[in-house]
Amino acid sequence: MTILVTGATGQLGRLIVKSLLERGADPQSIVAGARDVAKASDLGVRTARLDYTEPATIAAALEGVDSVLLISSSEVGKRAAQHQAVIDAAVAAGVQKFVYTSAPKATTSDLVLAPEHKATEELIAASGLPAVILRNNWYTENYAADLARAAETGVLAAGVGDGRVASASRKDFADAAAVVLLEDGHAGEVYELGGDVAWDYNDLASAIAEVSGREVAYVPVSFDEQLAALQAAGLDEGTAGFVAALDAGIRDGALADTDGTLSRLIGRPTTPLVEGLRAVA
C-alpha cells in the first residue's frame, strides 16, 4: 500500500510522516508531496513535487498511490479550488482511501474558516471517493504568540468571552491521521477531533502563568475593542476583522465540543494544555 501525504513539508505534514514511520510503515510506501521537494529531503521517505495550482504535478505524484492524505492548504481563500484539483486527480487515479483535514463541524459551523472546509467536504462527497474526514480542532501551538505576549505583559486579551477550545497538540492530530491511514476501515467516517479537555481563557491564562512563571490575567474585550486594538497594532482592516471573527466564533462555541474521539483513535490521552504550551515556549 502506498500513501501520499500532501503538504508534507508543513508542520503537521512532517509530524504525520514521522508518525507513519514510528508505526512501522515502510519508508518506500510513503510519498511526501511538496511544492518544494528540497524541503522534503530530510523526511526519509519518497518525495514528489506536488503543487495544488499545477494539476499535472498532482497527477504525477498520484501514480501508484492507494491512499491520499490531503492536508488542507494554507492559502486561505484559494483552498476550495486547490483541494478540488487534488480530489479530481484522486478520482482519476482510482484512489482507495482519501483522508482530508477539515475543521470542527465544518458543514454547519459559523466559524469564519468553515466555508472552504464545507465546500471541500461537499466536493469529496460528490466525488464518490472512499473518504475519511478529520475535523481537527485548534492546535495548542496556535497560542505561541499569546504565550509570548502574556509572558511579557501579564495580560491575555481576547474577544472570546466564556468560549471554550478543545485544542490538542499537532502531534496528537498527526497520530490520528497516521492511524486512519494505516488501519483498514474508517472510510465513510467523519471524525470530530479535539483535545480531552475544552478549556476557557481563564484556564489558558493560568496555563500561561504556569509555563511563564508570572501572573497572567484574562481580559475579555468586545468585538469592536479587539478590532481597534488589532488595527492599532498594524493589522489591515481585513486581517483584523478575520482575527476578531475567529474569536467571535470561539465565543459562540465553535470549538467547544469534545467527545474523546481523538484520544480513542490514538490510544492515549491528548497532550494537556500546559504541556503543549511548554513545548512551544
Site residues (vs ligand NAP, CB under 6 A): 7, 9-13, 35-36, 39, 50-53, 71-75, 82, 101, 136, 138-139, 142
| C-alpha cell, 85 | 484539483
Torsion of CA 225, 231, 235, 238, to 10 degrees: 70
Q: How far, in Å, CA of 40 to CA of 61, rounded?
A: 14
Shortest CA distance to 43 belongs to which of 33, 35, 53?
Answer: 33
Q: How far, in Å, CA of 270 to CA of 194, rounded?
A: 8
Judged by CB, which is closer to ligand NAP: 51, or 189? 51
Q: How far is the CB of 90 from ligand NAP (least distance, A)?
A: 15
Judged by CB, which is closer to ligand NAP: 168, or 217? 168
Q: How far is the CB of 184 from ligand NAP (least distance, A)?
A: 26
The single residue listed with the C-alpha cell 504565550 is 147
Q: How far is the CB of 264 from ligand NAP (least distance, A)?
A: 19
Q: How far is the CB of 104 from ligand NAP (least distance, A)?
A: 9
Judged by CB, which is closer to ligand NAP: 71, or 209? 71
Please report, for residues 102, 169, 220, 248, 249, the alpha-carbon distance to residue 252 in angstroms, rounded to integers and kept in the order given: 19, 23, 14, 6, 5
Q: How far is the CB of 12 from ligand NAP (least distance, A)?
A: 3
Judged by CB, which is closer to ligand NAP: 107, or 228? 107
Judged by CB, which is closer to ligand NAP: 228, or 243? 243
Q: Are the C-beta atoms of 181 and 19 separated by less than 8 Å?
A: no
Judged by CB, which is closer to ligand NAP: 53, or 222? 53
Q: How far is the CB of 202 from ligand NAP (least distance, A)?
A: 21
Judged by CB, which is closer to ligand NAP: 213, or 238? 238
Please report, for residues 17, 142, 177, 222, 247, the alpha-carbon distance to residue 219 in angstroms, rounded to integers and kept in the order given: 39, 19, 36, 10, 13
Please report, for residues 36, 162, 207, the alpha-carbon distance to residue 199 in angstroms, rounded to integers and kept in the order given: 37, 10, 10
Q: How far is the CB of 187 from ligand NAP (least distance, A)?
A: 22
Q: How far, in Å, CA of 145 to CA of 154, rounded?
A: 13
Q: Are the C-beta atoms of 195 and 168 separated by less than 8 Å?
A: yes
| C-alpha cell, 278 | 511548554
